[in-house]
Amino acid sequence: MRILVVGAGGVGSAVPAIAQRRDFFTHMTVADLAPERARAAVERLGEPDRFSAARVDASDEAALVALIREANADAVLNACDPRFNEPIFAASHAARVTYLDMAMTLSRPHPTDPYREPGVLLGDLQLAEAEAWERAGQLALVGIGVEPGLSDVFARYAADHLFSTIEEVGVRDGADLRVEGYAFAPTFSIWTTIEECLNPPLIWERGRGWFTTEPFSEPETFRFPAGIGELECVNVEHEEVVLIPRWVDCERVTFKYGLGADFIGVLRTLRMLGLDATEPVRVRGGEVAPRDVVAAVLPDPATLGERMSGRTCAGTYVTGTGVDGGPRRTYLHHVVDNEWSMREYGAQAVVWQTALNPVLALELLANGSWKGAGVLGPEAFDAVPFLELLADYGAPHGVDER
């Protein structure tokens, strides 16, 4: 397998470092608008025969097609912000290669009733192309990061092996990470953080379908493992709520994030001041998007690892009836300690945990354990090979019965 990674930010740079220890691919090209970032991601690995760097504008579909063909790629991993999904997705289809991403195309709130009715859902554009991809015999594996991604695999595993009926699939994310020297330093792309936290959160229920609520709604206290402890979790918009009901039989799907009151306060202030906006405004003769200004003044998440401490936990809390006929509440989870990920891979915990899962998926596709055509989420595939491979990579999941 020959792989093209588009985007050499935190996650895109961690992908080759993780993949380097495996032998399922013959070559990986890392491409970025800033060629020095792509070169830095591959040169530190010291294997020029297996890894190379290239320059590409992720917004230019024709340039992407040309690079896919030049790299002779079999698969394209989109490691860019989701605002670039459309051209990368389209270029992969045009070049007839497998496509993977870790976040789906962006949503648009309902124009008149955004906090009750959904507008354009996350991934709607991609899912609408499922038939075309299937006719072409091509696979677009969407949402294969950690959340979405591993969280969806957990949902599939629970449905197949732990539960006879499922009441709720509730993805719950929390961490006790600290960044020395910063009062506010998101550990992931601020663009994505603003998008998912300030958009109307999405919920799915059988008989009602998808609906929205106010940002940060339905707070609940959730206990996270590995010493992280109790955190208040709130609803945010996330792809699992779009994907899981399509392939997992359940009554309800939610996503809640343990953000913390201070973090929520900053996000509310950005919204109040209009600094979350993506449309450019005129400033001293130039034009700039307010959200880009916020991103420019915050530290790059990829550079925070040396200042970070603590652990991050991604997981899926499933409630319902177990296979034995009794009530069951199970939290399937994955914890990464920042000190470990920095020591082993030189990547901070959140970035590394996200990058790990598409590498696993690429290996499963390469060895034939996963196969398919169309636009599919992770829960459309057998979870067992994925979880077995997760352990083989030295990062097994945990199961907490409650």
Model pLDDT for residues 323-368, shown as the tens digit of each residue: 999 999 999 999 999 999 999 999 999 999 999 999 999 999 999 9
Residues 74 and 186 in one domain: no
pLDDT at position 399: 98
* pLDDT at residue 191 greater than cutoff 80: no
202-227 burial code (b ≥16 CB/10 A, e <16): bbbeeeeeeebbebbeeeeebebbee
pLDDT in tens, 39-48: 999 999 999 9
At 176, list the tokens: 């006790």
Q: Structural domain of residue 84, as residue ranges?
A: 2-101
pLDDT at position 6: 98
Residues 285 and 165 in one domain: yes
* pLDDT at residue 259 greater than cutoff 90: no
* pLDDT at residue 145 greater than cutoff 80: yes
Specify if 217 maps to a domain. yes
Residues 81 and 168 in one domain: no
- Total domains, the chain: 2
Residues 96 and 155 in one domain: no
pLDDT at position 197: 86
pLDDT in tens, 54-95: 999 999 999 999 999 999 999 999 999 999 999 999 999 999
Instruction: Record the pTM.
Output: 0.94
The CATH number that applies at residue 94 is 3.40.50.720
CA distance 168 to 397: 20
Choose the final residue of a domain: 64, 86, 101.
101
Specify if 262 maps to a domain. yes
Residues 72 and 189 in one domain: no
pLDDT in tens, 196-227: 888 999 999 999 999 999 999 999 999 999 99
Specify if 16 maps to a domain. yes
Residues 162 and 27 in one domain: no
271-306 burial code (b ≥16 CB/10 A, e <16): eeeeebbeeeeeeeeeeebbbeebbeeebebbebbe
* pLDDT at residue 170 greater than cutoff 80: yes
pLDDT at position 185: 80
Residues 95 and 194 in one domain: no
The secondary element (H helix, E strand) that includes residue 322 is strand 311-322
* pLDDT at residue 187 greater than cutoff 80: no
Residues 172 and 244 in one domain: yes
pLDDT in tens, 272-313: 999 888 889 998 888 888 888 888 888 888 788 888 899 999
Instruction: Please state the rounded mean pLDDT for residues 122-145.
Output: 98
